[in-house]
Structure 1
Amino acid sequence: MKYFAGLALVILMTSCQKESGIKMHHLSGRTMGTTYNIKFVAPSDYSTEQLKTDVDDRLKAVNMSMSTYIPTSEISKVNGAKANQAIEISDDFRFVLSHALDLAKDTEGIFDPTIGPLVNLWGFGPNGKRKVPETAKINEAIKVVGYKKISLDGKSLKKNFSKTYIDLSASAKGFGVDAITKLLSSRGLKNNMVEIGGEVRTMGKSLSRPWKIGVETPSASASEKGILKVIQLEGFALATSGSYRNFFKYGDKVYSHTIDYRTGRPVEHTLLSVSVISTSCMDADAVATALMAMGTEKGFEYAKKNAIKAYFIFRDPTGQKKFAQKATSEFNKVVK
């Protein structure tokens, strides 16, 4: 999946007394180029062996569908297809792509699952070398970028150009979280927390208390990270998109991994990170990316207009502090 530059969210485990006969179970592993952590409440003697296998199998299936880092994945086959070639796609792939295309339409292309050629050109994709590309190459890549260059018809997909390249990394981790939450629920595990690379979704409670998730202080150094805000999360997903770790510096200029499809260049604004709460982690993941691309003011206005639960951290315009913060009213309604 996409290059992972560090957690933006931290799971905070409060000290809770064990209830009689039950305890907190923990599963962890690697997926999508990062790690996953699952916590759930179950009887003390609950065997996790089969569940761990099922979790790994489900995440492997998501990765094999949507990872651009795997040459034999479904998305790699789609990206290698010729123009106007009808390609049959899986239910998972169609579900995630449909959501991404809807968001692209709603944001007028600011969020775009076909941004891949530009992301790769700047070195933020698979095996990329981060560098400032030539203007001519940027202009050439822009020609094949655009969500309208993708068409879906039932389970069939077509691209207008063979070089149009789909990248679902802004949605796939969140979808993976949702898939595992659904798996746990199907096993009767109604009190759980699922986290993949910092994207989180919870159900029920952490034993007798709500789950607590910490939003990190934006810092380019992982060693300097701290907790800026603690959120009690019950029955929601939380995802964060940020620019402060996934970047490169050339000369005196810093280049973010978030690309503006209009210019073909990394965005330049004061927004450091944005966290979004939604009932779906896939939705929170994608919307956080969209707001990050918009920047502080446009992103905040879009979030207010669309009743999005969003929390913004940005450079302090007065210069008196390292950063400032603000949240939409919808965010404040659900955050205690």
Structure 2
Amino acid sequence: MACGESRAENVSRLSGETMGTFWNVSIAAELDDAAKNTLKQRIESELEAVNDSMSTYRDTSELMRINHSRDASPQTVSDGLRRVLAKALEISKESEGVYDITVGPLVNLWGFGPEKRRDKPSDAEIAAALQHVGYHKLQLSAEGLSKSDPEIFIDLSSIAKGYGVDVVAETIDAAGYPNYLVEIGGEIRSKGNKYGAPWRVGIERPEAGLVSGAAVANIIAMNDRLPAMATSGNYRNYAEKGGEMAYHIIDPKDGKSHSSRLLSATVLAGDCMTADAYATTLMLLGDKKALAFADAHNLAAELILAGEGDKPYLIQRSKAFTQAIQEEQP
């Protein structure tokens, strides 16, 4: 996603690094240097807490403590991790396991997690990893999170970044600023407006060649009813494995890296972690099922598919997306 602004005066900007990417904040207010520094410190502290809780790249994180544990009894989880797990398990059930945060063994096997590898996994390796995948093997209760399989490896990369966006938005709210735009690695959440004008963000489309880059397909005016936007796609995070292209979104049903005509899925939602997880779900469903799922579950979604003939791409929109947006062509 790309963020667009037509008026720059009195927009205070903050930025930094997190989760292997960058965070950016625009606030429709004039903050002095002291206020900027104070808010930036709060934001970075909150994002550091998210990483310490949910990163699979930090061996001492709260999530990795759970992943390493062989204990079948409930393990205490923080409020933030509980919030993310609850949403993830809700969408897993709703999608009948198409979305599944226990996909970690497969993500690692394909080399898209903290454990890197260059070769394509064998069918036997995939079959072995699939034995330890299944959201139904997790139980979230008042006592904590329990695993019925000690080899379960939870990967929250499909939802944690969206949650990070929500945490930043809540931090800005708590600081008393009612008009802002937050972005982390293309995930968006906005509130209010920019001096009477809506915050505008661009939905990317793949350039010719499909994986070589991106350009703006259209520009969306954000609103407070669906203030969050997340996009999942197969045209950026990919690698060659055994002479074939492998994409980072791994199907928890068969353990394979699939591609379809669906190149990206963008979802608008009330919070960014929800948008993030649903965008991944739609990518996993592919071009044959994603739009029907979005309409059946009242998701505001835009899908970009590879085109045919002289059309490089095709845009599909759910009914809820069409009703929700105001669009300006770039």
- Scaled by the length of structure 1, the TM-score of the pair is 0.92
1:41-60 equivalences under 5 Å are 41-45=28-32, 47-60=35-48
Note closer, same or farther for the CA distance 1:224–1:134 as it changes in structure 2 (3 Å cut): closer
Match of 1:157 in 2: 145
The more displaced of 246-255 and 171-180 is 246-255
Corresponding position: 1:94 with 2:86? no
1:209 is paired with a residue of what secondary structure? coil
Cα separation, 2, equivalents of 1:13 and 1:75: 37
| Matched positions, count | 322
Q: Partner residue of 2:216?
A: 227
- Give the aligned partner of residue 69 of structure 2: 81
Tell me what 2:318 maps to.
328
- Indicate if the aligned counterparts of 1:247 and 1:254 stay in contact, CA closer than 8 A: yes
**What are the within-5 Å matches in structure 2 for residues 1-336 of structure 1?**
9-15=1-7, 18=9, 23-45=10-32, 47-219=35-207, 224-235=213-224, 236-250=227-241, 253-316=244-307, 318-336=308-326
Q: Secondary structure at the match of 2:200?
A: strand
Distance 1:221 1:296 in 2: 15
Offset, 1:255? 1.5
Name the CA distance, whole Å, in 1 between partners of 2:88 and 2:222: 25
Q: Which moved more, 1:122-131 or 1:192-201?
A: 122-131
The 1-side partners of 2:240 and 2:31 are apart by: 50
Partner AA of 2:314 in structure 1: A
Unaligned runs of 5+ in 1: 1-8
Q: What amino acid maps onto 1:182 in structure 2? A: E
- State the SS of the aligned residue for 1:228: strand
1:128-178 deviations in Å (ceiling 9; x for gaps): 124310111100100010000111121411111221000111111111111
In structure 2, relative to structure 1, the CA distance for the partners of 1:58 and 1:206 (3 Å cut) is same
SS in 2 for 1:42: coil
SS at match of 1:114: helix
TM-score (norm 2): 0.93
Distance 1:186 1:69 in 2: 29
**1:222: how far off?**
8.1
Residue 272 of structure 1 aligns to a residue whose secondary structure is: strand
8 Å Cα contact 1:94/1:155 also seen in 2 = no
Q: CA 1:51–1:83 in 2, change beyond 3 Å: closer, same or farther?
A: same
Quote the offset at 1:258 in angstroms.
Answer: 1.1
Give the equivalent residue in structure 2 for 1:5. Answer: none
Alignment partners' CA distance in 2, 1:176 and 1:308: 21
* Structure 2 unaligned residues grouped into runs of 5+: none
Q: Equivalent residue of 1:115, what SS?
A: helix
CA deviation map 1:76-121 (0-9, x unaligned): 1010000414311111111100110110011010000100100110
Residues 56 and 221 (structure 1), Cα distance of their counterparts in 2 relative to 1, 3 Å cut: farther
